[in-house]
Amino acid sequence: MPYSLRDRNVLIIGGSRGLGALVAEKFAAEGSNVAINYMSSRDDAEKVASGIASQYGVKTIVIQGVWLLSFRFNEEESKSLTYVSHPDCRMPESKGDCANAVNTTIEQLGGLDIIISNAGWTKITEFADLDAMDDADWDKCWSVNVKSSLHLFKAALPTFNANPEGGAFIITSSTAGVTPSGSSLPYSVTKAAAIHLMKCLAKTQGTKVRVNAVLPGLLLTEWGLIRWQGQRFSPEKIEDYKSKAALKRVPEVEDNADMYINIAKNPSITGQTVQIDAGFAI
């Protein structure tokens, strides 16, 4: 029997814009209450929250950029965050930040059933250039793309285990994690690590928690299309992607968002990756 999403409580990291915002709407349409974590775009987060609450009659809250690592991001660096962070973060303990996001959701929504770990960080660089990103950049990629999921999972595990029907933890990885590709070499490496983390958690953390990953290909969200240090995904890059994809197209953002719902509903899927890339990384 499918796992019903009605009246579930869902925490979405990076839920104010792009893929995360659409995932929030998809869960609300299923009757789930939604906690939306955001970076600095409070207006966007509140717009998403109020919109889906009004349309679907669910409970929503917003949680400001509780951050997961001890780095300080300046305003320019924060623009290269693909999903979520806080540009002025100086928090000394990432575990505490993750626990705060989880605990706030539990306190204000009355429980926690599903986490969408949708955090990511990268810079657009020449993939083969080993000097394009320094040690600090590598550390940021590792902390955001890997450790954030670990700390969120650890904070939520007791609640998931206490739930009568357990819990679901879905990581946003990338097809860059299964083939050498993407915005930067550190991004590709750490997204691969996130996939292996997912498998390790699924294998070792009991019978009540389902852990899976969605692997988008090229995502034409606001982040991918706006101009900053030049256009992120140029028309040439988009056409190159299409030419290499088996289906000769770029997946819609909605194609990706739908998969989070499908995975969350299926009680027999764990330890799996699902690529939404139109056959780019076959």
pLDDT in tens, 118-153: 988 887 778 888 988 899 888 888 988 999 999 999
Model confidence at 228: pLDDT above 60: no
pTM assigned to the model: 0.87
Bigger pLDDT: 247 vs 230: 247
Q: Is the pLDDT of residue 225 over 80?
A: no
Mean pLDDT (the chain) is 85
Type of residue found at 56: Y
| Residue 2: inside a domain | no
Position 221 scores a pLDDT of: 64
What three-state secondary structure class fits 23? Answer: helix
Structural domain includes residue 259? yes
> Average pLDDT in the 244-259 region?
93
> Residue 222: what pLDDT?
61
- Count of the separate structural domains present in the chain: 1
Pairing of strands 9-12, 114-117: parallel
SS3 assignment, position 75:
helix
Give the residue among 200, 234, 205 at the shortest CA–CA distance from 220. Answer: 234
Is 179 domain-assigned? Answer: yes
Domain assignment present for 171: yes
Within a domain: residue 128? yes
Residues 84-109: tens digit of each pLDDT: 333 323 232 367 778 889 999 999 99
Owning domain of residue 228: 9-276
- Residue among 178, 216, 219 nearest 196 (CA): 178
Is 29 part of a structural domain of the chain? yes
Domain CATH code at residue 183: 3.40.50.720
Q: Is residue 3 part of a domain?
A: no
**How many Å separate Cα 279 from the centre of its chain?**
21
